[in-house]
Amino acid sequence: MLSSQWVCRRCLNALAQPRSRQFLRLASTDTHKNLPPVLLQRARNITAEHDKLASALASDFDSGIAKRAGELSRVANALKEWEAAQSSIAELTDLLQSQDVELRQLAKDELSTTNAKLGTLATALSASLTPRDPFADMPCLLEVRPGPGGMEGRYFADAVFRMYRQYCSRKGIRVNVLKYETVDGGDTSIGGSSESPLQEAVLEVLDTGAYDQFRGEAGMHRVQRVPSTETSGRTHTSAVAVWVLPSFPENENDMPNEQSFNDPNSIFYVDPREVKEEKMRASGAGGQHVNKTESAIRLTHEPTGIAVSMQDSRSQHRNRQAAWTLLRSRIGQRRREEREEEAWALRNSVLSKDKITRGNKIRTYNYSQDRCTDHRSGLDVHNLPDVLEGGETLDKVMESAKDWLIQREIEQLIAEEEETSKAPIGKAAKKGKR
């Protein structure tokens, strides 16, 4: 069998023929369909800047230039891989006209593989052009709260919380239960799998990059099942809200200034003078301790009205520390959303208004059909117990949600680039009328 490297060398000679150039143009046209022209031009401009910076660094190192080159390298590398695949397709297409039967068959097989690979490379290149989420490399907080559905919603909230906790355990991801509160008087035996009636829970995911891994989980999770207390066998529909907030790495000093809660210019910075602190007695089970000490802490950020209460620990200091962590994350997320409003206004002027919000029902867990459906990606999977146990089936669902988010970001980028490209034309037209 001939190697693909040998095929490519043969192709170089074949491309010199006039008929080969015709196939090269056809192959080039087909591959351009995988990448919109506006994105391809943007990628080439960025790569040209990257190459220029790399040349400058070769003669004289500068930390600022090195940082910028590093930021652009993701696009430059993705473009080079895409162009290499495009070149291979042109070469292999030409070999389909060879008189050598074995060579034609080899080229056909290689062409099929490379064409399939090209679509993936085009998506990767497009994704590299999208603005990287400023929180992508940070740890995160997963907040779980019951939505509409009464007590059944509280029981399923516990199931969702345990799903993420077991998922992290299987993946070897470090976590910390920052908050776990159940309602008083709930029977832990009537929910599915001894679920507890959850009031609110916060899971701190400590690993770097956790925010990017879990950001597709934010939204409303709907459950359709027959509660164990239902005597007539009627299916109930409830919902659970999941928030994904950026958190702080264990060594806060390693963070960039714009993400440090000690920097007044950071979106996470909270002026202690604007926070009202209240000490309270913890509620719920806990024996005589809760009746004698004021270990619970409630923090209220007065400018925004955002409030956080924490009573999980018997230590007032630990509760205060956890409350500040959660308060900073919520305020940081609020400020980030406010900063993005102008960008969303531009995107929504071109695209349909389907920004993921906390009110969206992003996923349905249907017990009677043993099915989990992600409404964004359209993926249906069965083996619901494995999903709720944080198993490999949940991996598929979460990956489909991440792919959907990336695709949306690509569409938004294309819309923005097309709008930008139209702007000079419009200005020129107005200038001509004058």
What pLDDT does residue 250 have? 60
pTM (2 d.p.): 0.68
Taken in order 88, 94, 98, 102, is the CA torsion positive or negative?
A: positive
Is the pLDDT assigned to residue 7 strictly greater than 70? Answer: no
With CA atoms as reference, report the closest residue to 398 among 206, 180, 170.
Answer: 170
Taken in order 400, 402, 406, 412, is the CA torsion positive or negative?
A: positive
Q: What is the mean pLDDT of residues 17-28?
A: 35
SS3 245: strand
CA–CA separation, 343 vs 413, rounded Å? 11
Q: What is the mean pLDDT of residues 84-107?
A: 88
Per cent of the chain over pLDDT 70 is 75
Is the pLDDT assigned to residue 205 strictly greater than 90? Answer: yes
Q: Where in the chain is the domain with CATH 3.30.70.1660?
A: 140-349+356-411
Buried b (16+ CB within 10 A) or exposed e, 30-67: ebeebbbebbbebbeebbeebeebeeeeeeeeeeeeee
Buried b (16+ CB within 10 A) or exposed e, 386-408: bbbbbbebbbbbbebbbbbbbeb
User: Could you report the per-residue pLDDT of 365-416, keeping only the tens digit for each?
Assistant: 999 999 999 999 999 999 999 999 999 999 999 999 999 998 888 888 888 8
With CA atoms as reference, report the closest residue to 357 among 373, 340, 378, 371.
Answer: 340
CATH topology (fold) of 140-349+356-411? Alpha-Beta Plaits (3.30.70)
Taken in order 95, 98, 102, 103, is the CA torsion positive or negative?
A: negative
Q: What is the mean pLDDT of the chain?
A: 79
The pLDDT confidence band at residue 249, using thresholds 50, 70 and 90, is: low
338 vs 190: which has the higher pLDDT: 338
Q: Where are the alpha helices (DSSP H) in 130-266?
A: 150-171, 210-214
